[in-house]
Structures are given as structure tokens and as C-alpha cells.
Chain A
Amino acid sequence: MITIQNLKKSFRTEEVETLALNNVNMKIEVGEFVAIMGPSGCGKSTLLNIIGMLDNPTDGSYNFAGNEVGGLKESQRTQLRKGNLGFVFQSFNLIDELTVYENVELPLIYMKMNKGERKEKVMTVLERMKIAHRAKHFPQQLSGGQQQRVAISRAVVTKPKLILADEPTGNLDSKNGIEVMKLLTELNQEGTTIVMVTHSDRDSHYAHRVINLFDGQVVTESQNRAVGAMI
């Protein structure tokens, strides 16, 4: 699904050029659950942003489901992203002014789906995430765990092929964190590919594979044992 070759990403500030990613190579197959780990500032999030097509690599190639993404214009990236990708953030990034229902509905609106269809999909996903009873509430009225469930609902409502999660449990207590990880595992078992950036050893064990990043380079890759044992 994802093939990355010799990927480089550098940032320029006024004086220094910082190399955030340096010759990264990786392949992620359909249906995989991959965790990316590493210390702060190693380039995890940068890599995730590039995989999520929010950002362009400086050099190298990134192929997503047969499309070369590097060098695409922003509007083309937006097009490719629509419906294919779902995002889950550490800080949830829900829109405070919109209700739970409206937050989840948003990506469907941008896909120009009609209202009836939208409602069906939103309600289905909210029920599945056991948050349907809060549909009319605003994010501020929910607990952190609930907010992240809304965020995951929003990420999966379009039935994306790939979910990108940036420290999805970072702002949650362990109980809520485990619940979120279970949800992601379920989604993965249903066939969704998941790439997750994390600091947490516990979380990384849910993944099939862990890629360790250090100073912008892949240092180790390790296969996990059967995931079922962890649960």
C-alpha cells in the first residue's frame, strides 16, 4: 500500500537547515498495523504527516496505492486524501463550535455525500463507538476518552483504507487509552491499515510491527508476537 524510498525532509529556519528525515525507506502492506516509535524530535510526526499527505517530502519517493505522492500539488493531495485517509490526533482536534454529530459528519460533507446517507453513516459509527447518546453535545462537554472516541469516529466514518494516529492515547488515562487501542485493533482486524506514532510501549504492542526512528533515520524494525496474547 505504501512504499517509501530514500525519503528526505528538511526544514529551513532563518539560519539553520534541519534534516528531519534522512533516507527513510519503508513498505507498509494493506491490512498492517504499524507503530512508529522514537524519542522526541526524531521525526515521527513529520513522517506521519508525509504519509498522511499533509506535507510534501523534500526528496525521495512516496507511493500510495500506486500513486506517486511526492511533488503533488496541495489540491491534488487533498483529492487523493479524501475518503482514503483518516486521522486521529493526540489532542483530538475536534472543532469546539460543532456538536459531536457535526464533527463526525464533516468529512462526509466534504465528500459531497447527501444528507440522508450522511446521517446513516454518522449514526452507525457513533453507535459502534458507543457515543451516539452524546451526539448533540459539544466536545467541551465530554471526557477525554469520549472526545477521542468521537475523533476516531470521525476518522473512520468515511471507511478509509488507512488510519493515521498520532499518539492517540497521549492525553488519556490508561483505562481510556486501552479502550482506544482496542478500538483501533478492531478496525485493523476489519481490514483497515493503521499507522500509529506512539511513545508508549504498551500501545506499541498492539501493532504487528514497530519501526524505530532516531534522528530522522530508521534504526530498527521488529515484528511483534501474535497480538491476541496481549489483549
Chain B
Amino acid sequence: MFKNYIKIAWRSLKRQPFFTFLNTFGLAIGMAGGLLISLYIYDELSYDKMFADVDRIHRINVDIKFGGDARKFAVSPAPMADALKSDFSEVELVTRFRTRGSALVKKLDAQANVKEEQTTYVDPTFFEMFGVKLLAGDPKTALKDPNMLVLTKTAAEKHFGIDNAVGQILLLNNDESYTVTGVIEDLPQNSFLRDYTVFESMEGYSDADVVNWGSNNYNTFIKLIPSTNVEDIQKPLQGFLGKYVIPGVQKFMPGVTEEQFKATGNYLVYSTIPLTDIHLNSNLVAEMSTNNDIQTIYILSFIAIFLIVLASVNFMNLSTAQSLKRAKEVGVRKTLGSNKKDLVRQFLVESGLISLLSLVLALLMAMIALPFFNTLAAKDISIPFLNPFFWLILLGSVLLLGLFAGSYPAFFMSRFMPVKVLKGGGQSSVGGGGIRNALVVFQFAISVFLIISTLVVYQQLKYIQGKDLGFSKDQVLIVNDVYTAGSKVTSFKEQVKQLGFVKNATLSSYFPTTSNRSDTTFSPEEGLSDQENAVSMQTWGVDYDYTSTMDFEFVAGRDFDRNFGNDSTAIIVNETAVRVMRSTPKEAIGLRYSPDFNSENPSYFTIIGVVKDFHFDSLREEIDALSLHLSNRSYAMAIKIEAGYFENAISSIEGIWNTIVPGEPFNYYFMEDSFNDTYQSERRLGNIFIIFTILSLLIACLGLFGLAAFNAEKRVKEIGVRKVLGASVSQISMKLTLDFLKLVAIAILISLPLGWYVMNKWLEDFSYRINIPWWVFVLAAFLAVLISVLTVSYQSIKAAIVNPVKSLRSE
């Protein structure tokens, strides 16, 4: 019997190649999209799960408001580790990371440095904590002493040409000598350590032993003893404020109590986050790697589900529409003794068969699309063809989908009454039009919603790109690691400035686009130990050419000037800082602030200038208070170049670099690119929206196309009669098209307010954002109408030009 079902199903699919194609193609698009997104989500959810006892590992976070500045940190103080171990019997292990960013690395006798992008100091418990296996070396001793380090296999091969580099000497930043005591496997791409290649022993980092609860620099992880609850330590962890932090503060602010601290609106809250939650749920200051946002996962899941639902809806629509042709078959079968159950089964086999065909097509599509998808999503996903579970889940869900999509058509068609359909009046007895229309409305509502979303995301991106940031990011080249030139860095700068196309150059470690950040709490001369007046500010060390190179605008005071002997104690602040000081730009000039609370004779900085606020964080954030002071410790050099000279400039500047410090790598980037990187996730979201908008429109159009064909077929008699009575081709095709446009219009009415609401929610994440312009809705509606007219008119015109003699022939 089953074989018979399949045979009949196959034949009826073959007999209707057009519908079979529409059905299979639409379903395959939905499946391919759903498959790729599922693989992406699966990968995102797998982050950090490979580490040993990962369900027992947590990180300490801290949420601080002090000095008018509120921030959430992924790092905590150095003594946190010891305090956790001594205070909580639940804590089995503690491991701290002190990240130090990039480092220039070379073998003892090598000429040139090679840059390792991510290096970190780490406690010796590292191996036990995360279950990281050593390929060479002993985990008990590998990080025990100062000046020991562990490399990943790739880094070891890079520097020594072999993976067993144990015993070799490495120089970091030219002057720190380390012995390689271990080599580990490269860390998995889906782990928070993926970018780290060099692990130095924390023993050599003296700051790690200083009991200072005031600065947060250590990513601190704990592993709990089995069958203990993290909730049990969360509450006592709050007690750390009174027990450790306040006593520390009292050293320089005598008499301060926890109550006073809190009464001024300040807070300091320690919390824990499971390691496995970090990748999708944590976006704090000083994360060890770039994390994703759970929102993205939700949005993608939403899109995946809708793609598949849209495709299923298509399937239902096309199948019930097709039923016109099958009505007679159903009638005959019933007359010959088939019961409803048999018919349902037969139709389900058919939809199962289509699902399987679609799956084959979908896998092909997914394979073709995968490289593009990987680029888009910045991933390295592959389709796990060799994994039997993949196939099991895939086949299972495809059959489920076939059942889901096929059930309505099956029950719908098996209901036909033979007497009616066989009388030839079959046409009017095929119903289901209402449901089909509702489904079309549903599909188009989603499509219009996606069009609106795409337009809004792109408008916001455009706004960000075009927004006046308060500094000039264009035509600025940043040369990294200039500290390797040592004292020759000034001569490098001077020689670069001599180049004709160089407008200006400045040395600093701090730039308005992604770079180092450092903040300090300052207190005014009056009320030095009064925490209410404390101002937490970014403190950026710069040189005399900084503000002119960055094109900052002064609202009061003056720039740093070599002619003033005492500018080494001068600071320039931004407008926000002035506001936090409860002052005005004019009045702020001359005010003295000190970073020292406790000193007998505190050092003071005098405000000499106020610059207009500029955006040095993402536009998602408000602008923070900021101060600039003169410093000659610089990590990088920013060079402002005349438009059109980038190519020449880079090679000339590199030439100068190589003559001054031969052998040191020349690393550079463009400020503009660095700025754009900040909005990568928005851009990615925008691209994803575009692609899936197109896919959902495509699916909806396939459905509409099929439905228009069905409709034309169903109304063939009516069209014939109208033509006989004098209707012209254009009148008829217009009427047929308009009937569909009504549905699209309803869909638009539903999706406009929905799109408005949802996208306003999304925009709320940005401190600086657009108001959704009215034309977004008009354009979305227009596109939907245009696309549907194009889709339907082919069928409508085709139906309208049929000779009525054919359609009215009474059979």
C-alpha cells in the first residue's frame, strides 16, 4: 500500500512540474535558510562548553558607580582571588588573567620582532581550572615561576619552527626575557581564549600581589566544589564591599563608611556569571574577547522560524490551490471505495516526498551559500555531513515539516464530496479561499516588516557614519607599536611631519576610536577628601599636536603650548567633565584637580582648556568625562594625511620607520576602519536583514505566483464570460491583479505599526539615534505593491488573453 502511495505521489508530482517546482523551490529556500541559521546558533551556543567542569566555572563581575561614572566590569581587583579562596569553602580553584594586549615577540637570536595580538599573565592554576592539556611541559611547574611562559602550538611553530619549544628563550617587547615551559594545543575558536597565544606566569607580575581593592584589572574565574551552589556565595560576596573595599578607601578617605558611600548614590556590587553565559550575555568593560549578543540569537531564531513557516505556508497554499485539479481524482477515488484516511495518508506521502526533494535542493543551496554566509557572519561554519546525528535531526525535522505543511492540504482535499466534484461543478466546490488569503496576508506582513527593519537598520548605520563625531577620523593613519623605537620616536615623528602630504602627526596611546582606555578619579582642590565631589574621568596622555591632529574644537581656554613652561601639570577636559564638575567651560578654566586623595602634598592638574564633546565610545553610549594631559609615553602615532595620498604616504612612512628602527614590524591601521569596526554587529545585522528579507520576499512571491495561477484557473469561466460580454484584456488583468493587491494592502496595514514599534525598541539601544522617517514606511509599502504586481500580473495577463472559446466550451 505504502509503495502504491509513493508511486502515485511521484506521478502526480511529475504531472504538475510547475507546481512541484514552486513547492520544492520555496520549501528548499526556507530549509536552506533555516539550516544555515541553525548551524550558526548551534555554534554560538557551543561557546566555552569544551572546558573541564565548565558548569562549575564562574567569573566575578563588578558593577561600580563612583565619581559620577557608572560602569560594569568583567575584571575585579587583584586581591579578590585570595579573598574568595579564604572566605568561601565552596571555591575549589581561582584563576586570574591579567591581559596585556599585543606584544612584540622574538626568539633570543632572531633579528625581527613578530607581533602576537593577544597575550596575558595567568595564574598557575590555569591548566587545572580549564582542563587545558600541555603538549609539552609539566602543568604543575609550567607557570610556577616568574619569566616562564606557555605558548600555543601555532605560536611555538611560528617562533621556533617546531612545536616542542620547551626550554627555548623568548624576548617580549625587546627587553623581557622568558623561558618557554609549556606548549598547549591552539585554543578552540569557540572559546573566550581563542585569540590568546602567549600565557605568561603571573608570578612575574608584581602588581598581582598588591592588596589594592581600588583598581580592577583581573579577569577572575572560580571553580566551585561539586554540588555546591553559586547562589550561596553571591550574597556573602556583597559583603566584600564593607569587609575589604571600604577599609581600603579609608586609608585615603578617613572615616568613610559603607553607609556614607551608598548615601551619595554610589554603589559597588560584585556578582558572578557562569563561564558558559559569558559569550552571549556579557558585554562589560574589559571582556577578554569580543562577545556576541543574545539578542542576535533571538533575532536569528525568529528569522529562521519565520522562513520555515513562510515556506510551509507556501506549501499549504500551493497544495490546496492545486487541489482543483485533484478534486476529480478525489471524487473518483471515493466513489471507488477509498476512505478519508487513505486519502489523507496518500497526500501526506506526497508532501513528505516534496519535503525530501526540497531537502536535497536545500543542502545544495546551503553548500553554495555557506562561504558567503561565513563571511557575513564572521564564522567558520561547515555542514557536518559526517555526523550521523546531524542527518538524524535533519531527516526528522524534514519529515516533521512535511507532516506539518502537508496536514492542512491533506485534510482539506480529502474532504471533497464526490457527488459535487464529479458533477463538473468541481470548481465552485473547492473552498479554502479564506484561509489561503489569510496566509498570503501573513506572508506579506512578514515581508513588509522585514523591509521596514532593513531600511531602519541601514538608516541608523548611515546616521552613525555621517554623524559629526567631534573629531576628524578621515585621512588618519595610525602607526602602532611606535614605543619600539624608544627615544628615537620623536625623530620618527619629526621626519614624518616633514613629508609633504602629512598635515600633522601626534604621539599618544589613546585615540577616539577603539584603543587603550584609562580612567582616574580626580578631586577638586577644595574638598579633596570629600567623595561627593570626586570626578571620574578618562585620562589620556597626549602630546602637543594631539588636539590639532584630531581637529578638536575648543569651547574655552587654550591648547597645550610649548611656550608655557608649566603645561606638564595642565589638563584639557571635555564638556561632559565640566558638567560633572558642576561648572561651566569658562569658569572651569584655572580649576585645580588632584588624582591623589591620601597624599600629604597632593599633585594638582590645572584645567587650561575645554574641548567640545566628541564621541570616543560607540554611539550606543553616552559621552563620558575626559581629560587630556601631556605625556611622552606613547604606544602609537596618528598621522593626518592629505586626501588622495594614502598609497604614497604608507610606503614613505614605512621607509622612514625602517631606517630608524630596522627589524621592528611596521603595523598600521586607518582610523576610519577602526571606527567602522565598532559598528560591525549593526552592519552584520543589516546584512543579515537584507538577505533574509530577500529570501522571505522570494518565498512570498513564489506563493503569490502559484496562487495567482490557481486563481486564474479557477476563474477561467468568469474571465471567459466577461470577455464575451466585452471586457478588454487590460480590464480583466487589472481586476485579477487588484484582487491580490487588496491582500497585500491588508498585510501592509498590519506590518506598518508592527515595524514601527519593533524598530523603535531596537533603536532604544542607541544613545544617538534617528527618528524613523515616514518615507521608510511608504517605500516598504511601495516595494511590496510593486513586487506583488510584477508577480501577479504575469498570471493575470496570461489568463486575460485566453480565448474565451476555450474556457467556455461546455464539457
Residues of A within 8 A of B (CB): 45, 49, 52, 54-55, 74-75, 78, 81-83, 87, 89-91, 93-97, 106-107, 110-111, 140, 154, 166
Query: Which residues of B lie under 8 Å from residue A49 when comparing CB positions?
Result: 805
Contact flags B716-732 to A (C-beta < 8 A → 1, else 0): 01101111111111010
Partner of B729, one of A45, A75, A82: A75
Top 7 closest pairs, chain A to chain B, by CB: A110-B726, A107-B725, A82-B726, A91-B810, A54-B805, A49-B805, A93-B721
Known: A89-B808, A110-B725. A95 touches B803 (CB 8 A): no
The answer to whether B804 touches A54, judged by C-beta atoms less than 8 angstroms apart, is yes
Question: Known contacts A45-B809, A54-B805, A55-B803; is A93 also within 8 Å of B720 by CB?
Answer: yes
Q: Which residue of B lies closest to A55 (CB)?
A: B805
**Interface members, chain B 685-734 (any A CB < 8 Å):** 717-718, 720-729, 731
A75 touches B728 (CB 8 A): yes
Residues of B within 8 A of A87 (CB): 724-725
Closest-CB distance, B453 to chain A (whole angstroms): 38
* 8 residue pairs from A and B, CB less than 8 Å apart: A55-B803, A78-B727, A83-B726, A93-B720, A95-B721, A111-B726, A140-B428, A154-B725
- The listed residue with most A CB atoms (<10 A of its CB), out of B428, B722, B726, B805, is B726
Min CB distance B509 to A, Å, is 77
Which of A81, A89, A95, A140 sits near B726, CB closer than 8 Å? A81
B371, chain A: closest CB distance, angstroms: 46
Q: Is the Cβ of A106 less than 8 Å from the Cβ of B725?
A: yes
Q: For residue A55, which residues in chain B have a CB less than 8 angstroms away from its CB? A: 803, 805
Considering the complex, give the chain B residue whose CB is closest to the CB of A155.
B725
B10 CB to closest chain A CB (Å) equals: 25
B734 to chain A, nearest CB (A): 13
Report chain B residues within 8 Å CB of A97. 718
Cross-chain contact B726 with A54 (CB below 8 angstroms):
no
The contact string, 1 if C-beta is below 8 Å from chain A, for chain B 774-811, is 00000000000000000000000000010111001110
Known contacts A54-B804, A54-B805, A75-B729; A93/B717 CB under 8 A: yes
A54 adjacent to B721 (CB under 8 Å): no
Q: What residues of chain A lie closer than 8 Å to B723, measured between beta carbons? A: 78
Chain A residues positioned under 8 Å from B803 (CB to CB) = 54-55
Say whether A107 contacts B805, CB under 8 Å: no
Residue of A nearest to B718 (CB): A95
CA–CA, A82 and B805, complex, Å: 16
Assembled-state Cα–Cα distance A87/B725 (Å)? 8
- Return chain B residues, CB-CB under 8 Å to A54: 724, 803-805
Which B residues contact A (CB, under 8 angstroms)?
428, 717-718, 720-729, 731, 801, 803-805, 808-810
Q: Which residues of B contact A74 (CB under 8 A)?
A: 729, 801
Distance of B48 from chain A, by nearest CB (Å): 62
> Is A96 in contact with B720, judged by CB distance below 8 angstroms?
no
Query: How many angstroms from the CA of A82 to the CA of B726 in the assembled complex?
Result: 6
B428 contacts across to A, CB distance below 8 A? 96, 140
Contact status A78-B809, CB under 8 Å: no
Chain A residue at minimum C-beta to C-beta distance from B801: A74
Shortest Cβ distance from A93 into B: residue: B721
Q: Closest CB of chain B to A91's CB: distance in Å?
A: 5
A78 in contact with B726 given A89-B808, A110-B731 (CB within 8 Å): yes
Point out the residue from B717, B721, B728 that lies within 8 Å of A78, measured CB to CB: B728
Give the Cβ gap from B627 to chain A, nearest Cβ, in Å.
77
- The residues of B that contact A140 with a CB separation of less than 8 Å are 428
Q: How far is the CA of A49 from the CA of B809 in the complex (A)?
A: 10
**Least CB separation from A98: chain B residue:** B718
The interface residues of chain A lying within 8 Å CB-to-CB of B804 are 54
Instruction: Give Cα A81 to B729, complex, Å.
Output: 14
CA distance A62 to B434 in the complex (A): 47
A40 and B804 CA atoms in complex are apart in Å by: 20
Chain A residues whose CB sits within 8 angstroms of the CB of B726 once the complex forms = 78, 81-83, 107, 110-111
Contact yes or no, B805 A89, CB < 8 A: no
Closest residue of chain B to A48 (Cβ to Cβ) is: B805
Residues of chain A contacted by B724 (CB below 8 angstroms)? 52, 54, 87, 93
Among B718, B727, B805, the residue within 8 A (CB) of A110 is B727
> How many Å lie between the Cα of A51 and that of B428 in the bound state?
30
Identify the closest chain A residue to B424 (Cβ).
A91
In the assembled complex, which residues on chain A have CB atoms less than 8 Å from the CB atom of B810?
Answer: 89-91, 166
Q: How far is the CA of A54 from the CA of B805 in the complex (A)?
A: 6
* Bound complex: CA A204 to CA B808 (Å): 23
Min CB–CB distance B597 → chain A (angstroms): 86
By a CB distance below 8 angstroms, the chain A residues around B718 are 95-97
**Bound-complex Cα distance A42 to B731 (A):** 35
B805 contacts across to A, CB distance below 8 A: 49, 54-55
Measured in the bound complex, the distance between the Cα atoms of B722 and A54 in whole Å is: 12
A110 to B725, CA, bound (A): 7
Q: In the bound complex, what is the Cα–Cα distance between A44 and B629 (angstroms)?
A: 104
Which of A54, A83, A87, A97 has the most CB atoms of chain B within a 10 A radius of its CB?
Answer: A54
Complex CA gap A224/B795 in Å reads: 49
In the assembly, what is the distance between CA of A6 and CA of B316, in Å? 53
In the assembled complex, how far is the CB of residue B526 from the closest CB belonging to chain A, in whole angstroms? 87
Identify B808's interface contact among A93, A107, A110, A154, CB under 8 A.
A93
A78-B724 Cα distance, complex, nearest whole Å? 8
> Which of B721, B727, B728, B731 lies at the interface centre, i.e. has the most chain A CB atoms within 10 A of its CB?
B721
**Which of A87, A91, A93 has the most C-beta atoms of chain B within 10 angstroms of its own C-beta?**
A93
Question: CB within 8 A of A106: which of B717, B722, B728, B729?
Answer: B722
Complex Cα spacing A95 to B725, Å: 12
Residues of chain A within 8 A (CB-CB) of B729 are: 74-75
Give chain A nearest CB distance to B232 CB in angstroms.
Answer: 72
Residues of A within 8 A of B727 (CB): 78, 110
Report the bound CA distance from A29 to B119 in whole Å: 105
List the B side residues contacting A95 at CB < 8 Å: 717-718, 721-722
Distance of A111 Cα from B725 Cα, bound (Å): 9
A87 to B726, CA, bound (A): 11
In whole angstroms, how far apart are the Cα atoms of A154 and B725 in the complex?
9
CA of A52 to CA of B717, assembled, Å:
17
Residue ID in chain B nearest A84 by CB atoms:
B726
A sample of 6 more A-B contacts (CB under 8 A), given A55-B805, A89-B810, is: A55-B803, A78-B723, A78-B727, A78-B728, A82-B726, A107-B725
Q: Which residues of A contact B721 (CB under 8 A)?
A: 93-95, 106
By a CB distance below 8 angstroms, the chain B residues around A90 are: 810
Minimum distance in angstroms from A116 CB to a CB of chain B? 20
A110 to B808 CA separation, bound complex (whole angstroms):
19
The minimal Cβ–Cβ distance linking B285 to chain A, given in whole angstroms, is 67
A13 to chain B, nearest CB (A): 13
Which residue on chain A has the smallest CB distance to residue B810? A91
Q: Which residues on B sit within 8 Å (CB–CB) of A91?
A: 810
Distance in angstroms from A64 CB to nearest chain B CB is 16
Report the minimal beta-carbon distance from A196 to chain B, rounded to whole angstroms: 15
Bound together, the chains give a CA A83 to CA B801 distance in angstroms of: 21
Cα of A93 to Cα of B720 in the assembled complex, Å: 9
Interface centre among B720, B729, B810 (most CB of A within 10 A): B810
Measured CB to CB, the closest approach of chain A to B807, in angstroms, equals: 9
Q: What distance in Å separates the Cβ of B733 from its nearest Cβ neighbour in chain A? A: 13
By a CB distance below 8 angstroms, the chain A residues around B717 are: 93, 95
Distance A83 CA – B725 CA, assembled complex (angstroms):
9
On chain B, the residues within 8 Å of A83 by CB distance are 726
How many whole Å from A141's CB to the nearest CB in chain B? 13
Q: A90: nearest residue on chain B (CB-CB)?
A: B810
Return chain B residues, CB-CB under 8 Å to A166: 810
A78 to B731, CA, bound (A): 12
Residues of A near B731 (CB, < 8 A) are: 110
- B719: nearest chain-A partner, CB-CB: A95
A95 vs B732: C-alpha distance when bound (angstroms): 14
- Nearest to B804 among chain A residues (CB) is A54
